[in-house]
Amino acid sequence: MKRTRKFILFIAFALIFLLIAAGLCFGTETFPTKPSQVVVLFAPGGSNDVLARSVANILPK
* Cα(53)–Cα(42) distance, integer angstroms: 12
In the chain, the number of structural domains is 2
- Shared domain for 13 and 38, answered yes or no, is no
Residue 54: pLDDT above 80? yes
| Model pLDDT for residues 1-53, shown as the tens digit of each residue | 678 889 999 999 999 998 888 777 776 667 667 777 888 888 888 888 899 98
- Shared domain for 37 and 21, answered yes or no, is no
- Shared domain for 15 and 36, answered yes or no, is no
DSSP assignment string, the chain = -HHHHHHHHHHHHHHHHHHHHHHHHHTPPPSPSS-------S-TTSHHHHHHHHHHHHTT-
- Residue span of the structural domain in which 39 resides: 32-61
